Amino acid sequence: MNPFRPRLGARIALYLDLIRWSRPTGWLLLLWPTLSALWIAANGFPGWHLLTVFTLGTILMRSAGCCINDVADREFDRHVKRTAGRPVTTGAVSVKEALLLGALLALLAFALVLTTNTATIGWSFAALAVTLAYPYAKRFVSMPQAVLGVAFSFGIPMAFSAVQGGVPLLAWVLLLGNLFWVLAYDTEYAMVDRDDDLAIGMKTSAITLGRLDVPVVMLSYLAYLTIWALALVEYSLGAMFYMALVLALGQVVWHYSLIRNRSREGCFKAFRHNHWLGCTLFAGIAVSYALK
């Protein structure tokens, strides 16, 4: 038996844990608005090339972001119940290893972007800059979820750029709407860790908003859906799109039932199931174009 095989398998398992491979919620939250933007920009199916580039690129950049985030937060994470066991925090994966893995994943994502066009390549640098800034925003910005909102929405202008060679006003309006969605679900996420974050001096929207957290989350969901509905009304997407909006509103009501008491379990469940809201909206858009 090769003695190096068990050790290699153990290292790979740690790296997969580092990039949250078994917890796909993070990259799904990135993927659905990006795919929605692709379909809208292309007036339907964008082709297998762009679909592959943006799907794999989303997964790779989310994974790279996890590496960067865990290195930046390693001293804080040890004091938070939910994150104390992360590989970088425990020392199972070194800072150097995590950064090298993050750099490799980002380079692979960039290689995919190189197959698109010059404009999209340029926008990818802006997306990377915001991704690198977010982990440190939590130390200085009272609402770091706004920074995350930009980072998690940058697939929208990049999708338009890849299809159309430029970024129209519509892309920025959709980005604004998506930012409200990120604020909603990441505030739910922050509500899980509120007690620990208060103890270590971390800044989050859940702490900044105080008892207004639940109302602001609900208003943010409504702002997201309203902005997208109004922005796309002239595209005549039809009944399927509006049915998807109604289903998404139903999910918002369900989320209220989960977070209204601010329990750790309810807030975390609401966060983990948020990607279904984005999936619902994307499905409505994709089916609407297919039926045109």
Tell if the pTM clears 0.85, that is, is over it: yes
Please give the pLDDT value at position 81: 74
Q: Whole-angstrom Cα distance, residue 156 to residue 26?
A: 16
pLDDT along the chain (292 residues), means of 10: 58 87 90 97 95 95 89 77 81 88 94 95 90 77 78 93 95 96 92 79 80 94 96 86 95 96 93 95 94 80
Phi-psi region of 238 (alpha: psi -120 to 50; beta: other; left: phi over 0): left
Q: What are 194's two structure tokens?
A: 């509120």
Complete DSSP assignment for 42-93: HTS---HHHHHHHHHHHHHHHHHHHHHHHHHTHHHHTTSTTTTT-HHHHTSS
Q: Whole-angstrom Cα distance, residue 169 to residue 189?
A: 30
Candidates 277, 289, 202; CA nearest to 245 is 277
Please give the pLDDT value at position 152: 84
Axis crossing angle, helix 169-192 with helix 213-232, rounded to the nearest 10: 160
Please give the pLDDT value at position 4: 45
Please give the pLDDT value at position 3: 46
Eight-state DSSP code of residue 211: G
Instruction: Give the right CATH number for 4-291 from 1.10.357.140, 3.30.1330.10, 1.10.10.10, 1.10.260.40.
Output: 1.10.357.140
Candidates 193, 206, 185, 182; CA nearest to 258 is 185
Please give the pLDDT value at position 6: 54
Domain ranges for the chain, please list them: 4-291
